[in-house]
Structure 1
Amino acid sequence: MQPVLMPPNIIDHFYRGGDRLTAFRGVPQHSPRTPEEWLAATVHRAGEPEVGLSRLADGSLFAKLVEADPEGWTGFEHGGPGAGPADTGLLVKFLDAGQRLPVHVHPTRSFAIANLHSCYGKTEAWHILDVRGDDPAVWVGFREDVDERELAARVDAQDSEWLLGHMNKISVRPGDGILVPAGQPHATGAGIFLVEVQEPTDFSILLEWSVTTATRDESHLDLGFETALRGVSHRATGADELASLLHHLDPGTRDGGLLRALPAAADPFFRVDVAAPGASDEAGGAKAESEAAGGEKVGGEKVGGEVGGAKAGCEVVSVPRGFAVAIVLAGQGELGWSGGGVAIKSGEVYAIPAGLGDWTVTGPARVAICRPGVGWPDLT
């Protein structure tokens, strides 16, 4: 088995954005509302079975490839309990917000089992790539306990000021990793470009639909708000708990090992690490020469110039076997494995099968590696 280069899979949505995403993926932006791409996706958008699923270069569904050989792709004969034959344990997206996203909530696994016939809820996390504006920020969780009846009334009134005013506002910068546990209200601010990883569902309860093209009837997962709001945590997310949801990886960091991009609390659900090989001892300054040779700038880091070939003077970062979505954030280099290798460059996305075995990243590239949670497919 070999890595599969994934063609762009950019989709329309109910909010504005997408100019950085389309530029990064090298395609024209056909609409001002193309803020998301679903990467190596084997699940579709809620209620729209033709939207979201990734396709291969020949137009066939990536999900069919996984379904034909689940053990080869994931390392297991099946995914989560009852999740279907093409389950990979996670959904990865690009999100390029041209406006503030609405305040919304994703259900926990227990809520999803009871109400949505799914073994997965939708805990998610963000790895920030780029920001715009004077005060780039996200909001996660309430600052203080909220009365259930008041929340319902504020949602009904679409009181955006009250909702945001009762939430934890977090200023963000490139390299930040933020875990958003299921059940927590959250919103992403305008101007933020990020990689999003989440449980493989499209379950969203909109507490605030009036800032989008969505309607009230499209905002409660067909459960009705009386039921849907039971999926919202009304408990305050205090300072210590909030700190456990945050992690920062300096975008300029380079190392011979995998660099954690999310807090440890994310590990049961998914993992995002960055492979950014540093200059080896024998390089004699190859890293500095590479940066001086030109290249692309993503999240404040300039990489990508050729110095005697993509791998010149760089360490090798090893990645253990298992399904992964590999995103080449910057630069160029090589993915290598026993008996093979492929040149990579900024803007590319690869689906990595477990059957490839252990693999490596070399060269002055920066690659985000998104994988299912520790212990998957066991969800207990």
Structure 2
Amino acid sequence: MSSVHDDQSVQAIALPANQPQQFYRGGTNIAALRGGGDDREFGPEDWVASTTTRFGQAESGLSRLPDGRWLRDAVREAPEQWLGTEHVAAFGDSTALLVKLLDAGQRLPVHCHPSDTFAQQHLGSRFGKTEAWIVVGTSGPNPVVHLGFREDVAPEVVERWVSTQDSSAMLGSLNEIPVRPGDTVHVPAGTPHAIGEGVFIVELQQPTDFSVTLEWQGFLSDAESAFLGMDQRTALETLNHSGFDDTVLASLIKHTADQDSGRVELLAEDAAPFFRADRLHGSVELAPSFGVLIVLEGNGKLRSDNGSDLDLRRGSTVVVPHAAGAAQLEGDLTAVHCRPPSAGSRR
């Protein structure tokens, strides 16, 4: 093996933008964060340190390392260096994590994602797609997200809405939640949801691109692409029809804007079996782990215990291998640190 390969699996690496084309508008806030001029109309998602491809694609969505390899292939070549022994024992050579910047330049359609069980049965995947949103910016008069049905909805009612593409009924059935920077939302698999125009998030997901798009008309070209190649009735089996009352919503949503300690745990407790995220500010120690850093403000350095330093600035997106060891964040900066679940946290 070449020394370049060895080096890249033991030190933190800054990565460029990775914006596979999507069906909806956005991207201006990603460009502004990164300080570049690429504000393409249909570049609303930046897949950071991604080892996941877009559904049905061979390479689109993957992140490339500076040496030219896909990160996915580098992890497969040296999983214990990248991920750590305990992680590999629990999850194999999967990072068990997909991180995105998502800039909604328009409202997204009502959709949901399959559970692990459904994905195993119907999609040949160990992972479904539970996700979480960390709101890092908002614009416009009414930045909102839509999460879960307000009341229980019978399966036949949902099927009728989807068959007739009754957008107003689908959107109107969901809880509408105003959001501001610092808010976080845990989105369990099966939850119907939509992200409103003007909401800019760091999104953590299980490492798949599985979406069941209930409201596809006006967004996707046809119904076939809305249901992951399944028939409508089968695809909708993964949907959670239960109403989310205030107690349920309170268990999924956190408000962290007023917390200003060096390390702030961002996500609801129920997210822990799927991923972890902290907001870091100033000088903070990082334990050895595969992780993704997204710098929201300021400048500084990431010093690894192997002696390597990486300069950081607003807009930096960084992949950190487990083999980089313990690290120290230094400087006047604010970053989101995303990690896979701990090896013992899955059910």
1:268 to 270, 273, 291: 273
Per-residue CA deviations over 1:198-247 (Å, capped at 9, x if unaligned) read 10000000000123144211000111101001010111112111100011
1:326–1:224 Cα change, 3 Å: same
Contact residue 27 and residue 39 of structure 2 kept, 8 A:
no
1:80–1:53 Cα change, 3 Å: farther
Contact residue 321 and residue 358 of structure 1 kept, 8 A:
yes
Which amino acid is 1:321 matched to? P
Shift of 1:266: 0.9
User: Is the aligned partner of 1:138 residue 2:106?
Assistant: no
Q: Distance between the aligned counterparts of 1:105 and 1:80, measured in 2?
A: 30
User: Is the aligned partner of 1:329 residue 2:329?
Assistant: no
Partner of 2:191: 184
Per-residue CA deviations over 1:278-306 (Å, capped at 9, x if unaligned) read xxxxxxxxxxxxxxxxxxxxxxxxxxxxx
Shift of 1:343: 1.9
SS at match of 2:96: coil
User: Is the aligned partner of 1:161 residue 2:129?
Assistant: no
| Structure 1, 3-12 or 197-206: larger mean CA deviation | 3-12
Which amino acid is 1:337 matched to? S
Contact residue 3 and residue 350 of structure 1 kept, 8 A:
yes
Contact residue 80 and residue 89 of structure 1 kept, 8 A:
no
Q: Distance between the aligned counterparts of 1:102 and 1:20, measured in 2?
A: 20
Contact residue 303 and residue 329 of structure 2 kept, 8 A:
yes
Q: Distance between the aligned counterparts of 1:80 and 1:109, measured in 2?
A: 19
| Structure 1, 21-30 or 137-146: larger mean CA deviation | 21-30
Q: Distance between the aligned counterparts of 1:353 and 1:70, measured in 2?
A: 10
What is the 5 A alignment of 1:1-380? 1-29=10-38, 31-76=40-85, 79=88, 85=93, 87-250=94-257, 253-256=259-262, 258-277=263-282, 316-338=283-305, 339-375=307-343, 379-380=346-347
Partner of 2:4: none
Q: Distance between the aligned counterparts of 2:87 and 2:32, measured in 1?
A: 36
Q: Distance between the aligned counterparts of 1:79 and 1:43, measured in 2?
A: 17
Q: Distance between the aligned counterparts of 1:260 and 1:180, measured in 2?
A: 17
Q: Distance between the aligned counterparts of 1:266 and 1:77, measured in 2?
A: 20
Shift of 1:146: 0.4
Shift of 1:320: 1.2
Which fold has the larger relative contact order, with Cα–Cα distance below 8 Å and residues 6 or more apart in sequence? 2
Q: Distance between the aligned counterparts of 2:168 and 2:162, measured in 1?
A: 11
Shift of 1:80: 8.1
Which amino acid is 1:54 matched to? S
Q: Distance between the aligned counterparts of 2:333 and 2:164, measured in 1?
A: 49
Contact residue 97 and residue 192 of structure 1 kept, 8 A:
yes
SS at match of 1:364: strand
Task: State the superposition RMSD in angstroms.
Answer: 1.7
SS at match of 2:59: coil
Which amino acid is 1:353 matched to? P
Contact residue 41 and residue 63 of structure 1 kept, 8 A:
yes
Shift of 1:262: 1.4
| Structure 1, 328-337 or 177-186: larger mean CA deviation | 328-337
Q: Distance between the aligned counterparts of 1:360 and 1:30, measured in 2?
A: 32
Per-residue CA deviations over 1:50-91 (Å, capped at 9, x if unaligned) read 21000123432111211111001110377487x773x10100
Per-residue CA deviations over 1:6-59 (Å, capped at 9, x if unaligned) read 121112101011111123223433631110010000110000112100012343
Q: Distance between the aligned counterparts of 1:75 and 1:160, measured in 2?
A: 45
Contact residue 79 and residue 89 of structure 1 kept, 8 A:
no
Which amino acid is 1:71 matched to? E
Which amino acid is 2:287 matched to? P
Relative to the length of structure 1, the TM-score reads 0.85
Number of residue pairs matched by the alignment:
337
SS at match of 1:365: strand
Contact residue 292 and residue 317 of structure 2 kept, 8 A:
yes
SS at match of 2:105: coil
Q: Distance between the aligned counterparts of 1:161 and 1:374, measured in 2?
A: 40
Q: Distance between the aligned counterparts of 2:85 and 2:128, measured in 1?
A: 21
Contact residue 28 and residue 39 of structure 2 kept, 8 A:
no
SS at match of 2:236: helix
Residue ranges of structure 2 left out of the alignment (5+ in a row): 1-9
Which amino acid is 1:14 matched to? F
Higher-Rg member (1/2): 1
Which amino acid is 1:46 matched to? F
Residue ranges of structure 1 left out of the alignment (5+ in a row): 278-315
